[in-house]
Amino acid sequence: MTKVAEAARAFDVARVREDFPILRELVHGRPLVYLDSANTTQKPLAVLEALDTYYRHQNSNIHRATHLLGERATEAFERTRTKLQRFVNARDRAEIVLTKGCTESINLVAQSWARTHLTPGDEVLVTWMEHHSNIVPWQIVCEQTGATLKAAPITDRGELDVEAFERLLSERTKLVAIIHVSNALGTINPVARLIAQARAAGALVLVDGAQAVPHLPVDVQALDCDFYAFSGHKMYGPTGTGVLYGRRALLEAMPPYQGGGDMIASVTFEKTEYNVLPHKFEAGTPNIAGVVGLGAAVDYLAGLDRAAVLAHEEALLDEATARVRELAGVTLIGDAAARASVLSFVVEGVHPHDIGTVLDAEGVAVRTGQHCAQPVMDRYGVPATVRASFGVYNTHEDVDALVRGLEKVREVFG
């Protein structure tokens, strides 16, 4: 047995499933088979309890109250920042900006850094496999500044065409914004190499890590990226939480993204002094409870053997890929050599939404649609795909249920 297979077998998924109460839910009278973790993950008890404890014992506004609850809430909130700093190995906790999601993190960089640095003739380089949240903010800022958006192509297997990416880099490229793991294809991009190439060309690099952090260890110092954006709710934390890692020197020099309370040091009608990092970028009352819950999610992930989790998820993806590929009329969309969590496919003659409906009736939750990645759909000439995605709690029985559900689709649609 290979080391990976051994690690996968050693992983006690039954034990992990006990941590997720929602997995005992019945849907349409059947046990839930949740294969939609790329959309949002389910939450472990530790996160639910952190939210409950927060509202029962700590609830208050942060950074401003002089009373004990305010102190508790501030400490709990700021503790998450320290946990996140360790989670992605940032040098400094001031480099961790708390946002409401990956989308907001990317918009922050677009409207703060890019809007003040881009000029006509400059270029922003993305790839054809980006999520809309790593395309549209750059289109908006290009429109505002006169810069141009370029996109590096992908191959038929759903891998980035690295040579084409390299050819698109030039002295005009001011920012490269790349997805770490594709939500539509599952492709794991060789981000370390792409970052090195971009930096050699003199560009800054933002990595969209929304689909990477739940699966892969991420070290922003080793990657040497300038910005790394991700969401809390895709890594077992609450919705409405997100993170932007940014190099301190860059964040220091960037103007605020939004104005309001907490992001200021002093305000007069003549002049406002901004707060220190990271508060300069955290205007208004944040999702305090959510951030506290995100801290519990970081602890939860850190408490698992992450190599074993990855091996387990890889084994499920390999099995699902092999079995779904064999089914009549199925075409996989994306078959990259390195993939994480995501299996995307179409079935000849049956619309993905109909497949989703039949699977749902069987208790199997998948996502169908464009996955906020319309250029990927256009690249493959399909309107939508069915996407099954795996998380820490999925099992080989879940793969069986998916395959059985797809056989039912065949029966129903002939």
Ligand X SMILES: Cc1ncc(COP(=O)(O)O)c(C=O)c1O
Q: Which of 37, 42, 80, 103 binds ligand X (CB under 6 A)?
A: 103
Is 210 an interacting residue with respect to ligand X (CB under 6 A)? yes
Q: Least distance to ligand X from the beta carbon of 49, Å? A: 23
Of 58 and 189, the one with the shorter C-beta distance to ligand X is 189
> Would you say 234 or 279 has its CB closer to ligand X?
234
Is 101 among the residues that bind ligand X (CB under 6 A)?
A: yes
Dist CA 221 CA 122 (whole Å)? 27
Span near ligand X by CB under 6 A; candidates 52-60, 86-94, 98-106, 294-302: 98-106
How far apart CA 306 and CA 180 sit, in angstroms, is 18
The tokens describing 5, both together, are 């297979």
Q: Does 363 bind ligand X (CB under 6 A)?
A: no
Q: Contact region for ligand X (CB under 6 A) — 41-49, 126-134, 145-153, 185-193?
A: 126-134
Interface with ligand X, residue 74, by CB under 6 A: no
* Binding segment toward ligand X, per CB under 6 A, in 130-138, 311-319, 382-390, 399-407: 130-138
Determine the Cα–Cα distance for residues 350 and 125; give it in Å rounded to an integer.
35
Q: CA-to-CA distance for 341 and 188, rounded, in angstroms?
A: 10
Q: Is 367 in the site for ligand X (CB under 6 A)?
A: no
Residue pointed to by tokens 């049956």: 350
Q: Which one of 118-126, 128-136, 138-146, 215-223 is the stretch in contact with ligand X (CB under 6 A)?
A: 128-136
Q: Which of 179, 292, 301, 310 binds ligand X (CB under 6 A)?
A: 179
Cβ closest to ligand X, residue 238 vs residue 363: 238
- Residue 327 near residue 406 (C-beta atoms within 8 A): yes
370 is a contact residue toward ligand X (CB under 6 A)? no
- 133 binding ligand X? (CB under 6 A): yes
Q: Which residue has the tokens 């955290």?
A: 282
φ/ψ of residue 368, rounded to 5: -125, 150
Give residue 179's Cα distance to chain centre: 9
Q: Is 131 in the site for ligand X (CB under 6 A)?
A: yes
Q: Is 372 a catalytic residue?
A: yes
* Residue 102 engages ligand X in binding (rule: CB under 6 A): yes
Residue among 111, 112, 211, 394 that touches ligand X (CB under 6 A): 211
Report, in Å, the least distance between residue 111 CB and ligand X: 15
How many C-beta atoms lie closer than 10 Å to residue 277's C-beta? 19
Closer CB to ligand X, residue 183 or residue 370? 183
Residue placing its CB nearer to ligand X in the complex, 11 or 228: 228
Q: Report, in Å, the least distance between residue 135 CB and ligand X.
A: 10
Whichever of 137 and 363 has its CB closer to ligand X, that residue is: 137
Per rule CB under 6 A, count of chain residues that contact ligand X: 15
The nearest distance, CB 157 to ligand X, in angstroms, is: 19
The footprint of ligand X on residues 215-274 (CB under 6 A) is 231, 233, 242
Residue 208 as a binder of ligand X (CB under 6 A): the answer is yes
Q: Which of 102, 142, 225, 372 is catalytic?
A: 372
Q: Is 187 in the site for ligand X (CB under 6 A)?
A: no
Q: How far is the CB of 274 from ligand X (least distance, A)?
A: 25
Binding part of the chain for ligand X, among 49-57, 95-103, 266-274, 385-393 by CB under 6 A, reads 95-103
Contacts with ligand X by CB under 6 A lie at: 101-103, 131, 133-134, 179, 183, 208, 210-211, 231, 233, 242, 372
Q: Which residues are catalytic?
A: 372
